[in-house]
């Protein structure tokens, strides 16, 4: 059985695919900045642990979006 067609997104709102794409891009920016910071922060800097955690969280969010997209 095929799925009924979805209604287009209301004016001014992003559709599911556009939203996912936009969110993925924003998370990629966070990952990119974390990568840059990790290149600059010394291994013994206490802030490094926080940046690593932000990087892990953002990477997990990207994986969750990918998994969600595959399950649809």
pTM (two decimals): 0.72
Closest CA relative to residue 48, chosen from 59, 39, 58, 60: 39
Res 19: pLDDT = 87
11 located within any domain: no
Q: Residue range 20-49: average pLDDT?
A: 96
pLDDT band at 46 (very low <50, low <70, confident <90, very high): very high
Q: Is residue 66's pLDDT more than 60?
A: yes
6 located within any domain: no
37 located within any domain: yes
Task: Give the chain's domain count.
Answer: 1
9 located within any domain: no
Q: What is the DSSP string of the chain?
A: -PPPPPPPPPTTS--HHHHHHHHHHHHHHHHHHHHHHHHHS-TT-THHHHHHHHHHHHHHHHHHHHHHHHH-
Res 67: pLDDT = 86
40 located within any domain: yes
2 located within any domain: no
**Residue 39 burial (10 A CB sphere; 0-12, 13-18, 19+):** exposed
3 located within any domain: no
What range does the domain containing 66 cover? Answer: 16-71
pLDDT band at 63 (very low <50, low <70, confident <90, very high): very high
């Amino acid at each position: 059985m095929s799925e009924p067609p979805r209604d287009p997104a209301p004016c001014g709102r992003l559709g599911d695919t556009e939203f996912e794409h936009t969110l993925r891009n924003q998370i990629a920016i966070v990952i990119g900045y974390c990568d840059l910071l990790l290149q600059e922060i010394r291994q013994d800097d206490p802030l490094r642990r926080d940046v690593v955690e932000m990087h892990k969280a953002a990477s997990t969010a990207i994986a969750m979006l990918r998994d969600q997209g595959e399950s649809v």
